[in-house]
A and B are shown apart, each in its own frame.
Chain A
Amino acid sequence: MLRYSLRRLATALPTLLAVITLSFFMMRIAPGGPFDQERALDPVIRANMEAAYHLDLPLWHQYLIYLGNLLRGDLGPSFTMPEFTVAELFAAGLPVSVQLGGWALVLALLIGGGLGIAAALRQNGWIDVAVVAVATAGSTIPTFVVAPVFQLVFGLSLMWLPVGGWQDGAARNMVGPVVCLMLPQLAVVARLMRGSMIEALRAHHIRTARAMGLSGWSVVGRHALRSAMLPVVSYAGPAAAALLTGSVVVETIFSVPGVGRYFVDAALNRDYTVVMGAVVVVAVFTIVFNLIVDLLYAIIDPRVRYA
């Protein structure tokens, strides 16, 4: 399994390179540049700035310089926030996003998974109906509706929680963003878990386990849950990559200094280096979590063999 993992990571490098290359050139095809503003810059200043950032060189040369810097771990300076390098921006923002996304992910899996199991065990009972209703609401009501309502109720009316802000990651400040990030994921996890658990409980080997007099906990928790987990695991991989790399909506509404807002701001401002930094971060997270999913699969299901 270790060899498999190493080989998978090695084959991930060409994927990463392809993603970086595509993003680099696609971004440059888009019209406009980092120094295009409503008021035209003085041409001399503009030329100086472009020279400072190598923007005057041919595109292929810029690409090679970027790759060379990337290999040394240098993601370059931000164009629109010249006082920071891209690495500094992510070093400051990523822990915030990872904390929020991590909590949201763990809670979505635990609560969503639990609700899904409960619904499956009492199919068409009141718990099931309630879970399906919550899951439907969770995946249909957009976060930009849920988040302001949350602020209104818990921040302004009840005054239990701050309306926004980070305060170095105080627990009180994290509740709102975590809940809003979690709800849509929880809804998907609950639905997936319910479906796969109902399927798993119908399996013949579950009938065997019951016929052997095993306790309900053993039948459900040991035998049914293990196979029911597989679809949830495959969903959780990409979902984790998306959650941990921040959300522009939640971070903006709750004024949280994560990295989610960089994606949108940088793209709009043609802040080339920040966009590329974001691409690299998301690609790495996605590759790593997909690998984790594959390894979990092999652990859960012995029929999956990685030769």
Chain B
Amino acid sequence: MSILQDPPLIEVRNLSVHFATPEGDTQAVRDVSFAVHAGETVAIVGESGSGKSQSMMAAMGLLPGNARVTGEIAFKGRNLLTLPRRALRELRGAELAMIFQEPMTSLDPLYRIGDQLIEPIRRHSRLSAHDARARALEMLGLVRLPEPERMMRSYPHELSGGQRQRVMIAMALTNDPALLIADEPTTALDVTIQAEILALMADLQKRLGMGMVFISHDLNMVRHIADRVCVMRAGEVVEHGPVAQIFEAPQHPYTRALIDADPKGHKPPAPTNAPVLLHARDVTVTFGTAPHQVQAVRGLSLDLRAGETVGIVGESGSGKSTFARALLRLNQSEGEIRFDGVPISTLTRAQMRPYRAQMQVVFQDPFGALSPRMTAGQIVTEGLLVHRPDLTRAARDAMAAQALTEVQLNPEFRNRYIHEFSGGQRQRIAIARALILKPRLLVLDEPTSALDRMVQAQVVDLLRDLQARHQLTYLFISHDLAVVRAMADRVMVMKSGELVEEGPCAQVLHAPRAAYTKRLIAAAFDTQAMAPA
């Protein structure tokens, strides 16, 4: 590797970051050292809280005011940490560029795309307004956005998440930076879009010859774009080496765990003669009033047998959550829905209530779905107040303790408030809240999507275990095929409110028929497909 002989483009030496908080000093980054050479991609991989973003935010001088940084970050021979603010501003956006995880909010909603692209061009060069505009157009073409002229006049809210991330990449690359820092640039995007953005970045990195730091929580994702990998955990680099070595001969147990973090195993098949618990025919959901009507779900049918798990797979906007909510009668729909043989689509609110306890739901966002003003115990037992008003306070408390034990949480935690729990623990509380009513059907709406990969695998194990123990029936909604593979008997693939493909899990995932399913699977499992053509 000849590039290793040149002096590095950026060299991080003994970097530590402390935050002063009301609870005292916390250390986010400990004694981290690594280097990136020109033309090289280094991936920094770690789970949330590992300090992977903080170390690069320190390089950009973007840490909040309560941060204290020690060590050295040498960029082209100058220490970024001691550079005067003015000199750092000259580098940022010119030689050093960064793109972020949140494409939806990283652009200023109040200015046109064109203005936002031209501003940093004129800030760092002497181009005239006319030439800067031409450069902006050229960049939009480079990131392969359609109709660059129209894009220039658009506002961010008129673009999709993938398009906005392309704009961010265009903006970052506009002044030919020597180093691009990409902080989880694809995490908030759908899998097929993720693959496109990754391919675009890998391609641009090669063509423009810049160095790149690629921050990600997903070790498997960086396999095909990184030259070297730094694995971080709790603020420290636990392993550092060429990508082949990291994957073929990982030294640290944590690295091995990360590589292996995909949920494993399969669900034992449900008996095929089990009675149908949930039956749906031609369910259609329409939003809005004419002429602005949108059909979010178009004539979908489903037969869910007791003890079975059906996975519904689709990208954002495919109507998968809307369909599930219609089945639970949480939103209006047309068509026939029967639960345990009872036609529930025509029941009134009051008539519906006894069935509500039998059909429970767990939502995606464990941070937003639980009230911050209630203790874990209160959250878990709230449903009992409605469905089991006969229970005494002591009985409820005992049931809360039992439900928490069931989801492998310490029952003594029931008097704690939600902010004291991690994301994975919160999702366990949400599952306990659903289980306490002894439901027969559990709708799981992306229950693992907001969690770190290793926590995901644990939650998947827990859900499978609970299903076997309580003979539960699952409707499992996810955009994540690896999780679906480990959870579901059958899979429905949805796109734009319609069914694309349906069948046994193994068949759909290994021998997909529809082109769209093939694309989804390629993007999710075959990371080779992301490499540029």
Interface residues of A in 209-251 (CB under 8 A from B): 209-215, 218, 222-223, 226-227
Contact (Cβ within 8 A) B110 A226: yes
Q: With a CB–CB cut-off of 8 A, which chain A residues contact B155?
A: 302-303
Q: With a CB–CB cut-off of 8 A, which chain A residues contact B124?
A: 213
Option from A204, A226, A301 in Cβ contact (under 8 Å) with B100: A204
Complex interface: stretch among B87-95, B192-200, B232-240: B87-95
Evaluate whether A300 and B97 lie within 8 angstroms (CB atoms) in the complex, with A212-B123, A215-B89 already known: no
Contact (Cβ within 8 A) B110 A204: no
Q: With a CB–CB cut-off of 8 A, which chain A residues contact B507?
A: none
Contact (Cβ within 8 A) B120 A213: yes
Q: With a CB–CB cut-off of 8 A, which chain A residues contact B528?
A: none
Option from A205, A214, A226, A301 in Cβ contact (under 8 Å) with B107: A205
Question: Closest CB of chain B to A37's CB: distance in Å?
Answer: 60
Please tell me if A172 contacts chain B, counting CB pairs below 8 Å. no
Chain A minimum-CB-distance residue to B64? A202
Q: With a CB–CB cut-off of 8 A, which chain B residues contact A218?
A: 119, 123
Chain B minimum-CB-distance residue to A123? B65
Question: Closest CB of chain A to B161's CB: distance in Å?
Answer: 13
Question: Closest CB of chain B to A204's CB: distance in Å?
Answer: 4
Q: With a CB–CB cut-off of 8 A, which chain A residues contact B225?
A: none
How many of chain A's residues have a CB under 8 angstroms from any CB in B? Answer: 21
Contact (Cβ within 8 A) A212 B110: no
Compute how far the CA of A188 lies from the CA of B389 in the bound complex, rounded to whole angstroms.
48
Please tell me if A92 contacts chain B, counting CB pairs below 8 Å. no
Q: With a CB–CB cut-off of 8 A, which chain A residues contact B60?
A: 210-211
Chain B minimum-CB-distance residue to A203? B105
Contact (Cβ within 8 A) B119 A208: no
Please tell me if A28 contacts chain B, counting CB pairs below 8 Å. no
Evaluate whether A301 and B109 lie within 8 angstroms (CB atoms) in the complex, with A208-B168, A211-B98, A212-B171 already known: yes
Contact (Cβ within 8 A) B120 A204: no
Contact (Cβ within 8 A) B98 A205: no
Contact (Cβ within 8 A) A212 B106: no
Contact (Cβ within 8 A) A208 B97: no
Option from A213, A214, A302 in Cβ contact (under 8 Å) with B110: A302
Evaluate whether A208 and B100 lie within 8 angstroms (CB atoms) in the complex, with A213-B123, A214-B119, A301-B110 already known: yes
Contact (Cβ within 8 A) B123 A215: yes
Please tell me if B157 contacts chain A, counting CB pairs below 8 Å. yes
Q: With a CB–CB cut-off of 8 A, which chain A residues contact B91?
A: 213
Please tell me if A61 contacts chain B, counting CB pairs below 8 Å. no
Please tell me if B108 contacts chain A, counting CB pairs below 8 Å. yes
Q: With a CB–CB cut-off of 8 A, which chain A residues contact B97?
A: 211-212
Please tell me if A46 contacts chain B, counting CB pairs below 8 Å. no
Please tell me if A207 contacts chain B, counting CB pairs below 8 Å. yes
Compute how far the CA of A43 lies from the CA of B461 in the bound complex, rounded to whole angstroms.
96
Chain B contact-residue range equals 20 to 34
Compute how far the CA of A297 lies from the CA of B105 in the bound complex, rounded to whole angstroms.
20
Please tell me if B350 contacts chain A, counting CB pairs below 8 Å. no
Question: Closest CB of chain B to A231's CB: distance in Å?
Answer: 14
Compute how far the CA of A223 lies from the CA of B92 in the bound complex, rounded to whole angstroms.
17
Question: Closest CB of chain B to A210's CB: distance in Å?
Answer: 6
Compute how far the CA of A171 lies from the CA of B98 in the bound complex, rounded to whole angstroms.
54
Compute how far the CA of A210 lies from the CA of B424 in the bound complex, rounded to whole angstroms.
33
Interface residues of B in 154-174 (CB under 8 A from A): 155, 157, 168, 171-172
Q: With a CB–CB cut-off of 8 A, which chain A residues contact B89?
A: 213-215
Compute how far the CA of A202 lies from the CA of B257 in the bound complex, rounded to whole angstroms.
35
Interface residues of A in 60-95 (CB under 8 A from B): none
Option from A205, A227, A300 in Cβ contact (under 8 Å) with B106: A205
Contact (Cβ within 8 A) A204 B105: yes
Please tell me if B533 contacts chain A, counting CB pairs below 8 Å. no
Q: With a CB–CB cut-off of 8 A, which chain B residues contact A226?
A: 110
Q: With a CB–CB cut-off of 8 A, which chain B residues contact A222?
A: 119
- Residue among A212, A215, A300 facing the most chain B CB atoms (10 A cut-off): A212
Contact (Cβ within 8 A) B92 A213: yes
Q: With a CB–CB cut-off of 8 A, which chain B residues contact A205?
A: 105-109
Contact (Cβ within 8 A) B108 A213: no
Compute how far the CA of A222 lies from the CA of B120 in the bound complex, rounded to whole angstroms.
13
Contact (Cβ within 8 A) B100 A212: no
Contact (Cβ within 8 A) A211 B93: yes
B130-174 Cβ-contact flags toward A at 8 Å (1 or 0): 000000000000000000000000010100000000001001100
Compute how far the CA of A303 lies from the CA of B60 in the bound complex, rounded to whole angstroms.
31
Contact (Cβ within 8 A) A211 B110: no
Contact (Cβ within 8 A) B123 A211: no
Please tell me if B102 contacts chain A, counting CB pairs below 8 Å. yes
Compute how far the CA of A213 lies from the CA of B105 in the bound complex, rounded to whole angstroms.
18
Evaluate whether A204 and B109 lie within 8 angstroms (CB atoms) in the complex, with A212-B119, A214-B93, A218-B123 already known: no
Please tell me if B249 contacts chain A, counting CB pairs below 8 Å. no
Please tell me if B62 contacts chain A, counting CB pairs below 8 Å. yes
Q: With a CB–CB cut-off of 8 A, which chain B residues contact A210?
A: 60, 62, 92
Contact (Cβ within 8 A) B105 A214: no
Contact (Cβ within 8 A) B120 A303: no
Question: Closest CB of chain A to B216's CB: distance in Å?
Answer: 18
Compute how far the CA of A303 lies from the CA of B90 in the bound complex, rounded to whole angstroms.
32
Q: With a CB–CB cut-off of 8 A, which chain B residues contact A303?
A: 109, 155, 157
Compute how far the CA of A215 lies from the CA of B62 in the bound complex, rounded to whole angstroms.
14
Q: With a CB–CB cut-off of 8 A, which chain B residues contact A203?
A: 105
Question: Closest CB of chain B to A305's CB: distance in Å?
Answer: 10
Compute how far the CA of A99 lies from the CA of B176 in the bound complex, rounded to whole angstroms.
55
Compute how far the CA of A155 lies from the CA of B123 in the bound complex, rounded to whole angstroms.
52
Q: With a CB–CB cut-off of 8 A, which chain B residues contact A302?
A: 109-110, 112, 155, 157
Compute how far the CA of A210 lies from the CA of B92 in the bound complex, rounded to whole angstroms.
8
8 A-B contacts (beta carbon < 8 Å): A204-B105, A205-B107, A205-B108, A205-B109, A211-B100, A222-B119, A223-B108, A227-B109
Given A210-B60, A214-B123, 19 other A-B residues pairs in contact with their CB atoms under 8 A: A208-B168, A208-B171, A210-B62, A210-B92, A211-B62, A212-B120, A213-B90, A213-B92, A213-B94, A215-B123, A223-B108, A226-B110, A227-B110, A300-B110, A301-B109, A301-B110, A302-B109, A302-B157, A303-B109
Interface pairs A-B: 7 shortest CB-CB? A213-B93, A212-B93, A213-B92, A212-B120, A204-B105, A205-B108, A211-B98
